[in-house]
Amino acid sequence: MSVRELEIAITQLSTRELAELMEWLEEYHAQRWDKQIEEDLEAGRLDALLAQVDREYEAGLSQPL
C-alpha cells in the first residue's frame, strides 16, 4: 500500500478510529525511537555526546530538572 493510499484511507476514518490510529502511531513511534537510541548506544554513536555531558556535569554546569 502506498503512502497516498494510506492518506486516502485515513480521511475515511471516523473520529474514534482516527483517535485510535493516532494513539497507535504515537506508541509505535516511541518504540521505534527507543530502538534507535539503543542501537546508537550499542554502536557507540552517542559516546562523544555522553562524554560531553559528563564533563559539563563534573564542571558544575548542570541544573536540576
**Full pLDDT tens readout for the chain, 65 residues:** 999 999 999 999 999 999 999 999 999 999 999 999 999 999 999 999 999 999 999 999 988 88
Cell for 16? 474514534
Neighbours of 53 (CB within 10 A): 13
The Cα 65–Cα 32 span in angstroms is: 26
pTM, two decimals, is 0.70
* Nearest alpha carbon to residue 45 among 36, 54, 33: 36
Cell for 65? 530538572
The Cα 54–Cα 46 span in angstroms is: 12
